[in-house]
Amino acid sequence: MANGMASYGLPCECGAEITVTAGQAGGRVTCPRCARGVAVPKLRDLATLVRSVPAAEPPGGTWRPAHAVTLLGAIVCATSLAAAAWLGRGPSAAVDERALRAAVMAADDMAVYRGWSGELARATVRRPPADQELAVLRQARFFGSLGRGLSVAAAAGFLAALAGGGMLMLGPRRPAAVEAGAPVGRQP
């Protein structure tokens, strides 16, 4: 046992061996197999029982499902956040604004005036979008939806990692120690 106290194997009528310690001498324990109450011998009579050797726990502990939930949640969260951040940059613009400004600045005044008074003066706001603009809009909508989905996956991964961490912190449920003389479970 972890506390350094000697442990003994107490046989039950069902054939199971119940591990007891000197601190439980004179009391009663419940058999984990048949749930029957079994009397623990007094301290002087414990020597008649077979002394049990606790199984050595592997160094570093054991891998439990809580570890897997925590690891998987952290991986999902991290990869989803990274992908959402990468996609969050969005598509490039359909028109290179810097190139357009540079071309206007490089042209002489007469060329700018002719361009403005010609086709641009007759242009209306209500025009159908160009094919390149439609492609950029579709791409922006797709990446926006994908980014939102990845953000939801990241939140789910974070919650899973949080739940797994909580399970690890609480640890496995162990029955409380039985006090000497206290009745436990069903009586035979």
77-114 tens-digit pLDDT: 899 888 888 877 666 665 677 877 888 788 888 888 88
Q: How far apart are the first and last CA of the chain?
A: 27
Residue 75 has a pLDDT of 92
Residue 58 has a pLDDT of 57
20-67 tens-digit pLDDT: 888 888 899 999 889 889 999 888 888 788 777 666 555 556 778 888
Residue 159 has a pLDDT of 92
Q: How confident is the model at residue 131 (pLDDT cuts 50, 70, 90)?
A: confident
User: Which ranges constitute the DSSP H helices of 12-130?
Assistant: 65-87, 97-106, 109-115, 121-122
CA distance 44 to 59: 35
Q: Domain locations in the chain?
A: 1-59+173-188, 65-170
Average pLDDT along the chain: 78
Residue 176 has a pLDDT of 45
113-122 tens-digit pLDDT: 887 777 766 6
Contact 143, 84 (CB under 8 A): no
CA distance 51 to 44: 14
SS3 state of residue 25: coil
Q: To 5 degrees, how large is the angle CA 118–CA 119–CA 122?
A: 95
Residue with tokens 């209306």: 124
Residue 181 has a pLDDT of 46
The side-by-side arrangement of strands in the sheet containing 50-52 is 17-21, 7-11, 50-52
Residue with tokens 């060329």: 111
Q: To 5 degrees, how large is the angle CA 178–CA 181–CA 185?
A: 55
